[in-house]
Amino acid sequence: MATQTITATEAKPASFFATAPYIPPDAIFALTAEYNADSCPQKVNLGQGTYRDENGQPWVLPSVQKARDTLLSQGLYHEYLPILGLESFRNEAAKVALGAELYGKQRAKLAICQSLSGTGALHLAGLLLRSCRSPLPRVYVPSPTWSNHIQVFSSLGFQCESFKYYDEQKKTLDIESYLATLRAAEPGSIVILHACAHNPTGCDPSREQWKQIGAIMKERSLFPLFDAAYLGFNSGSVDDDAFAMRYVVDELQMEAGVCMSFAKNMGLYGERVGCLFFATGSEKTAKNTQSVLEMLQRSEVSNPPAYGARIASAILSSDDLRDMWYADLTTMSGRIRSMRRALYDALIKYGAHGSWEPLIRQSGMFGFLGLSPYVVNKLKEKYHVYMASNSRISIAGLNPSNVDYVARSIAECLDES
């Protein structure tokens, strides 16, 4: 009887995933993992953008604690939310972004959907814009920017164009390059705009510069897509931080998209509480757009999570809790400003080489130090001070017990470089 010869290939078929490439871990989360594994008692984490109190500990906002206690006393329900999310949250989120008066004028022309924090809002916005435009428009992204911007839109097939946002020599916003890029952009292109607290530079346009940006975008028929991850967290005032969005929608009467997150400004990091809304040109357009959002949400996550949305809704829907939240925003933004000044003063005290005035002109959670990769790595390896490779630091990671050490470490590294 003849025997059948089985080749190696037949015996063990190639893996279905044989062509999958290895992609390095996300830089910031990898940095956090390194920090967590570091046993040095003097280590400092200035990488991940999460708020910490004056003792370096996570802070549950009093407004969030109060809202949570109220929800627990009423009983938690674990039923599905509607596909578009919790209606009271969606409406109140759009209202806080636009302000009550503008929201009232625009309500019928808004398409609103709850999202998985800011990242989910950006991704859902990309899906919606991809479904509406053929061929796909270009997406203009400031350089530098939050790393996930390009990752989200390129994964959806968009061609992303980086434009110069920051002048490394002057350590400030390069407004002329910014405006020149907008003037040259093809009509119908999408422009990613940081509503406030630009990540990573901390350099925002002034109100007059926002007006210039808006005027060119309207003239060139460009679509503004705002990433509003830090409303109220930047200045302590939601109204001040929302200026650019409200100006574009109200004064310029433009269509726009707004991607909101309540991770930073409510401390709801793990609850993934976000909202996406589009200000459209008509009630019919809004109705149609919202129907597409509902279909896309159904295909992506089916229903968004309820718990965090209920907390945010409770805060935004109550005058008392909303006032508590405003006070919490003042507390957080004020502590960050004081730590920014403390770092500046300590850098000057230790004679750190360089000009540090730009640090105190920046705003928001992050500071952009302009250090070389060599210095950044030396700070980590020798002094156990962790920051992003581009020397973006989370100011919230500083506190009275470590700011002097960080400044002295920077000064010594600069001396040695």
* 59 counts as catalytic: no
Which residues does 381 contact at the CB level (< 8 Å), separation at least 6? none
* 227 counts as catalytic: yes
The answer to whether the 26-59+332-416 and 80-317 domains have the same CATH topology is no
Catalytic, out of 66, 95, 109, 264: 264
Q: What is the pLDDT of residue 14?
A: 87
Q: Could you say which of 3.40.640.10, 3.40.50.300, 3.90.1150.10, 3.30.360.10 is the CATH number of the domain covering 80-317?
A: 3.40.640.10
Max CA pair span of the chain: 91
Residues in the chain: 417
Chain segment 372-381, per-residue pLDDT in tens: 999 999 999 9
Q: What is the pLDDT of residue 354?
A: 87
Q: What is the pLDDT of residue 77?
A: 83
Chain segment 12-64, per-residue pLDDT in tens: 778 999 999 999 888 889 999 999 999 999 999 999 888 999 998 999 999 99
Buried b (16+ CB within 10 A) or exposed e, 259-288: bbbbbbbbbbbebbbbbbbbbbeeeeebee
Beta strands in 23-143, from DSSP E residues, in sequence order: 44-45, 110-116, 139-143
Catalytic, out of 204, 227, 241, 328: 227
Q: Break the chain into its structural domains and give their ranges.
A: 26-59+332-416, 80-317
Catalytic, out of 66, 95, 109, 146: 146
Q: What is the pLDDT of residue 2?
A: 54
User: Could you tell me which CATH class the domain 26-59+332-416 is placed in?
Assistant: alpha beta
Structure tokens at 337: 């400003």
Burial class of residue 34 (count of CB atoms within 10 Å of its CB; 0-12, 13-18, 19+): middle
Question: How confident is the model over 165-193, as a mean pLDDT?
Answer: 95
Chain segment 264-307, per-residue pLDDT in tens: 999 999 999 999 999 999 999 999 999 999 999 999 999 999 99
- According to DSSP, the residues that pair with 167 across neighbouring strands are 172
Q: What is the pLDDT of residue 48?
A: 84
Which 3 state secondary structure label does DSSP give 68? Answer: helix
Q: What is the DSSP string of 273-336?
A: EEEEEEE-SSHHHHHHHHHHHHHHHHHHTSS--SHHHHHHHHHHH-HHHHHHHHHHHHHHHHHH
* Banded model confidence at residue 169, pLDDT cuts 50, 70, 90: confident
Q: What is the pLDDT of residue 3?
A: 55
